[in-house]
Amino acid sequence: MNIQQHIISNIPTFDVQVSCSEVMEFFKENTYSHVAILEKDRFLGVFSENDMDVVPIDSRIDEYRYDLETFFVRRETSWLDVLEVFARNEANLLPILDKAEKVIGYYDLTDIVSVFINTPFFTDPGNILVVATGVKDYSFSEIAQIVESNNAKLIGGFITDMQNDVVQVTIKISTSNFDKVVQTFRRYNYHIIFGNSDDQFLEDLKNRSDYLDKYLNV
């Protein structure tokens, strides 16, 4: 999936020698969580909007260089990995670096989420099923085999949680033979966390999207 078309090139970067007041103005005029800091035109780190509350207005970013976070993505980073970096760092703006460690632009969380929402996983009709099993027992090929052995179609799936040696997988399957699929998962000792119709799933997705919009507009 091509997300490079969503690279934003009109958001500024800041040299490490600039005053904190310049960066403060950027955050006041925008709703972004972070912005890239450079040293000699190369990426040094990102400064967090949350940190602006504790720095004097007449200081320089250089005085806080060791407090900079260092997360970023590459042009070739997959969209799922980009989403993971957003989530792991609680950010809504990610710098994109080339091989020379120069910032070539940013990804905006809103744009990447819209790409995710518009995938067939969300747009194609089907049922959502969330199953759990032990990490040592997990096999996506087995999950696919269970679905397809019941003459159902696997539309997509991904790991949505992994803790305490238990992996949780969310899958979307065609509506045919849904009950048979669920019964087969149980026979294979999978724990059924969640299973519903497409209409219910879309309503839940709408509620989550509304929450995301509120978060992004804070």
**139/109 same-domain check:** no
Distance (Å, whole) CA 96 – CA 11: 12
Distance (Å, whole) CA 190 – CA 180: 14
How does the average pLDDT of the chain come out, rounded? 87
pLDDT of residue 168 exceeding 80: yes
**11/100 same-domain check:** yes
The reported pTM is 0.67
Structural domain count of the chain? 2
Q: In which band, very low, low, confident or very high, does the pLDDT at 213 lie, cut at 50, 70 and 90?
A: low
Q: In which band, very low, low, confident or very high, does the pLDDT at 197 lie, cut at 50, 70 and 90?
A: very low
Q: What are the pLDDT digits (tens) for 30-77?
A: 999 999 999 999 999 999 999 888 889 889 999 999 989 999 999 999
Q: What are the pLDDT digits (tens) for 201-211?
A: 445 555 555 55
In a domain, 204, yes or no: no
CA distances from 73 to 79, 101, 156 (A): 10, 11, 25
Distance (Å, whole) CA 106 – CA 133: 37
In a domain, 212, yes or no: no
- Going along the chain, which residue ranges are E strands? 14-15, 34-39, 42-48, 73-74, 93-97, 103-108, 127-134, 154-163, 166-173, 191-196
**94/140 same-domain check:** no
**18/111 same-domain check:** yes
Q: Provide the pairing of β-strand 73-74 with 93-97.
A: parallel
What percent of the chain is predicted at pLDDT more than 70? Answer: 89
**Which range of residues forms the domain containing residue 177?**
120-197
Which residues are registered as beta bridge partners of 170?
130, 158
CATH of the domain at 105: 3.10.580.10
* pLDDT value, residue 208: 55
In a domain, 29, yes or no: yes
**Encoded tokens for 128:** 């959502």
**141/190 same-domain check:** yes
pLDDT of residue 13 exceeding 50: yes
**71/168 same-domain check:** no
